[in-house]
Structure 1
Amino acid sequence: LGLPGIVMAVALIQFWLAMPVALYGTLAILFLAYVGRYIPLGVRAANGALRQVDGSLEESARILGASWGHTMREVTLPLIRPGLLAGWLLVFVPVIQELSASILLFSSGSITLAVAVYNLYETGYTEPVAALAVINTVIIGAAMWLAMRIGRGRISASVGATA
């Protein structure tokens, strides 16, 4: 969990420059860096939620004739949804603000919000920096509001209250 973004970026640069596929400077290499760096956070949250689901619940659904897909949709997924949402937020919030790997891996066609803020700040354009910081805050706030709303609706429905 403690892999610095610069280490991830340098490793990806070294790996992909030796490969015949031209991935450096694309959004794909940024995506790979984010996945490699932040997926453990999401997996931990989802794993914690999944471990709390007793196997007898899924087994009961299967005994009653439910298919594997139906069991996942109607039994397991509603129980682990809060953990999945928490994992999504634990990944989304740092990714949208990530600078250390992005600054080494971006190109003119794959600039991120954090890199744009940094570049504008370094060149002395404080007004656009403030505007982008507000946009960043609004995006994160909207994502958190949406996740809380989805999570609250599911919890209310699962205990019989109307949402």
Structure 2
Amino acid sequence: MPEFTIGPLGNWEGTAKVIIKTGNIAEEKVDAICISVGSTLEHSSSTWKAITKICGTKVYKDAYEKARKAQTTWLNRGEILVVDTRDTKLDAKYVFLVVLPDIYHLETAYTNIFREAIAHRCTSVAIPGLGCEANVKGMCSGDESDQPGGSFEAVAKTPATVSCDVL
């Protein structure tokens, strides 16, 4: 498993240990998992099914809707909606819904992920290739299961798990 340390990050003087590995992101023992979503904050159907299978549909839907209602502004590419999943069966305390970034907004997306991780006192975050699992209508063609990241399992096999250790 490749590992390296980055930091300081922006105004944050700490460092982050990055561990790149494959596995099921939903099974990672981390404080937060990141998921790409469309601009309407809709999950792909496969991602929604995978998360609700673990959390329970009603419990996750309630947490998701609570987060959406608390959001008073439209989110741009690379911005994040934080869903508190501490009351669910998911091991992660939070799900960071990252609005599908394009190449010009990747740095913003990663900066926002670390900013939210720090704000929510997360010490570890699982980050798949952003944009891989957001099978948003018009972005991918063909059967969802044939798309890279079309199924949560396919996405889950290529995460980078980032452990943020503040020094």
TM-score surpassing 0.5?
A: no
Give the TM-score normalised by structure 2.
0.26
Which one has the largest radius of gyration?
A: 1
Greater helix content: 1
Which structure is higher in RCO with an 8 Å CA cutoff and minimum separation 6? 2
Give the TM-score normalised by structure 1.
0.27
Greater strand content: 2
